[in-house]
Amino acid sequence: MLTSSWHYSKWCSDSVSKNQPPSALRRPAGAEEGEAACRGRRGGGFASPTNQEAQSLSNSCSGSEFIPLRRARVVPRLPAGTSPALARIALSLAMVFVPGCQGKPGPPQAVTIFVAASTKDAIEEIAGVFKKEQGIEVRVSPGASNTLATQIAEGAPADLFLSANEEWTEALKAEGHALEARKLLGNSLAIAVPRGNPAGVKSPQDLRAPAVKKVALAGEKVPAGKYAEQALRSLGLYEALLGDKKIVRGQDVRVTLAFVERGEAEAGIVYSTDAMVSRDVETACRLDPKTHDPIVYPLVLLKRAPTEGSARKLYAFLQTAGARVVFERHGFTALE
């Protein structure tokens, strides 16, 4: 069971203010006068509405925007005694010329996607293209995959989830939060150092050198931190670095990268894609992928009915050839 202390507030519709009196929900003033335009004044007959009366009738349509009439069609006055059926037909014809009563389709609903911090830049770029092509706004919320998965399990309003490993997506699927999922991206690990490499790190073994005071890793439950620890254990370095009190942990991979950017750590193990986006670091070396589990980013379409249509469009868009080009330019490997 995914649990955390995270809470969120539901945004409620503000179409009716708390202080709005109940009378404000009734028909607007002038509705009765507008309806009078559709009723006969003499002996039950029917008269066509004047422009002024048609405007009053249009304004009486609840929730509709009034569109001025160019000209009201003249319907001959029906004589007294006209059958109710014929009067209803005439009324229907008159209503056709009150366009304000026809509802307008609303704009597409915005989509919220929770993404692993390492994918933030690529996803934001793709989201911009998606908005231009589809007219749908995308809200990108980056963070540590474990934290995001926990928030989703507790009801966070996310439509899609791009995780940095399969563990957290499998947990969400097991709890019934996923509609669909597929493996989208791959990545690799690198040792990032401050620009100029002041400690002279060229290999993983150099992390034990006296010049290296701190080595930054992501959190123990964060995918990037788990992959880094696996690699260091496989190389026989983790326990030694831990014993030397060199390891410092970041909340997510971007916080880990920031330690290196600011010179607070002489080296850090991050995704290769993260080392690429910063001008303040350089890549000392890449770690052998055989030293850790495969780095896979699954994309999950979550169960959230109100925005499912828009979310499905983004889900498909992230799998297109155009999106693939963007991902590869940011250093990711697009998976088939």
CATH of residue 304's domain is 3.40.190.10
Give the pLDDT mean for 99-104: 49
284 found inside a domain: yes
Q: What percent of the chain has pLDDT over 70?
A: 68
Tell me, yes or no, whether 32 and 116 share the same domain: no
**What confidence score (pLDDT) does residue 85 get?**
56
**What confidence score (pLDDT) does residue 32 get?**
43
Give the pLDDT mean for 264-282: 96
DSSP-based helix, strand, coil % in the chain, nearest 5: 40, 15, 45
Asked if 6 contacts 151 with a C-beta cutoff of 8 angstroms, the reply is yes
Tell me how far CA of residue 301 lies from CA of 113, 159, 180, 181, 309, in angstroms: 9, 6, 5, 6, 11
14 found inside a domain: no
Tell me, yes or no, whether 156 and 89 share the same domain: no
Tell me, yes or no, whether 276 and 312 share the same domain: no
**What confidence score (pLDDT) does residue 185 get?**
98
Question: Which of 35, 70, 101 finishes a domain?
Answer: 101
Tell me, yes or no, whether 168 and 181 share the same domain: yes
Tell me, yes or no, whether 217 and 259 share the same domain: yes
Tell me, yes or no, whether 119 and 94 share the same domain: no
237 found inside a domain: yes
Number of domains in the chain: 3
Count of positions (residues) in the chain: 336
Tell me, yes or no, whether 65 and 115 share the same domain: no
Cβ neighbours of residue 22 under 8 Å, at least 6 residues apart?
A: none
Tell me, yes or no, whether 284 and 199 share the same domain: yes
Tokens of 45: 């007959």
Tokens of 16: 């009716």
Give the whole-angstrom CA distance, residue 269 versus residue 169: 23
Residue 181: pLDDT over 90: yes
**What confidence score (pLDDT) does residue 304 get?**
82
Tell me, yes or no, whether 319 and 200 share the same domain: no
22 found inside a domain: no
CA dihedral 98, 99, 103, 104 (to 10 degrees): -160
Tokens of 86: 């014929």
Give the residue carrying structure tokens 């004047």: 50
Question: Which of 58, 82, 101 finishes a domain?
Answer: 101
Among 99, 230, 255, 111, smallest CA distance to 165 is for 230
Tell me, yes or no, whether 65 and 120 share the same domain: no
**What confidence score (pLDDT) does residue 84 get?**
59
Give the whole-angstrom CA distance, residue 239 versus residue 230: 11
Lowest mean pLDDT among 95-99, 231-235, 322-326: 95-99
**What confidence score (pLDDT) does residue 108 get?**
73
Tell me, yes or no, whether 169 and 316 share the same domain: yes
**What confidence score (pLDDT) does residue 69 get?**
37
2 found inside a domain: no
Tell me, yes or no, whether 138 and 171 share the same domain: yes
Task: Return the bridge partners of 113, or none.
Answer: 140, 160
106 found inside a domain: no
Place 22 in a pLDDT band, splitting at 50, 70 and 90: very low
157 found inside a domain: yes
End-to-end CA distance of the chain: 31
Question: Which of 37, 67, 101 finishes a domain?
Answer: 101
Q: What's the domain range around 44?
A: 27-101
171 found inside a domain: yes
**What confidence score (pLDDT) does residue 336 get?**
72
